[in-house]
Amino acid sequence: MTDLRIAVAVATCGRPQALRNCLAAIAAQSRLPDQLIIVDQQPLPETRDVVEKSGLPAIYLEQERRGLSASRNLALRTADADVLAVTDDDCFPDERWVEAVAAGFLSDVSPDAVTGPVLPPPGDPPANMCALSMRPSRETRLYSARVSPWRVGSGANFAARVEMLREVGGWDERLGVGTRGLAGEDIDIVDRLLATGRRILYKGDVVMHHAWQTRERRRETRWSYGYGIGAMSGLRLGRRDGYGWRMLASYSKMHLRQALRDGARGQWTAVREHMTALAALWPSLIYGLRSAKSL
């Protein structure tokens, strides 16, 4: 598999201990990446020390606080490889992650992008901690037409051909953590790829783990995730792409069903989380519509 060059990019922002865990997992890969790019939007002496002591020949880039999409785009401009695989500092890959990504691109289906499961760390969660942003399916599936993009993958575990990413303009810097869009940059790029005829392979053995989070952090993300969906949908509707309505309807239906199920079980904290996600759709839809018209 040495005929396919793979760059791995890690976005970090003031979490040196999390980054240490991520880089340790990358150093233990069955196949090391051909290039490692770390984009830091909150440079700290501790973070630089983590990178220097990782034992990896990393390219360490400092960037002003412009959000996750800007971090991804800087890595994309820097990448000298065939494929760019991205993740975040609070994630760590399975030991065969890079190898499995390469196998996906070299398979007979020859996809334009590869995604995979996002799982919690092995073992039971510590007290008052829980899983976040999970994508547990281990079923491999090729997507070649538009579907609800959150079914296809997430930014914690995403790889795509570098030239294709550059052709579509990379990640939308109006979306993502650290922007007014709050989230949604990952599913936005998934949808843009599918809308332009690209093919995305969700591969069951391309495994990423997401660190445990506090329950307070989980509740906070319900708003930001919903906001990202609404913002992304508004951007589409602002350019007369009616698929924005389909995404809003699908996301609303999913959370309403889950809220009814959890309510029947008396799980009222979960119900409140679903309602929070739904409430975020409408102010973010306005943001997306206004952002689309401002271009």
C-beta separation of 152 from 237 below 8 A: no
Task: Give the integer Cα–Cα distance in Å for 181 and 172.
Answer: 10
The string of pLDDT tens digits covering residues 187-199 is 999 999 999 999 9
The string of pLDDT tens digits covering residues 71-113 is 999 999 999 999 999 999 999 999 999 999 999 999 999 999 9
For domain 6-211, which CATH number applies: 3.90.550.10, 1.10.260.40, 3.30.750.24, 1.20.1280.290? 3.90.550.10
The string of pLDDT tens digits covering residues 121-149 is 998 888 888 887 789 999 999 999 999 99
pTM of the full predicted structure?
A: 0.96
Would you state the pLDDT for residue 295?
A: 62
Closest by Cα among 270, 285, 294 to 237: 285
| Residue 67 pLDDT greater than 90, yes or no | yes
Mean pLDDT over 254-261 rounds to: 97
C-beta separation of 67 from 179 below 8 A: yes
The string of pLDDT tens digits covering residues 219-228 is 889 999 999 9
| Residue 214 pLDDT greater than 70, yes or no | yes
Domain locations along the chain? 6-211, 217-293
Query: Residue 91: enclosing H or E segment and its boundaries?
Result: strand 91-93
If one counts every other C-beta atom within 10 angstroms of the C-beta of residue 98, the result is: 24
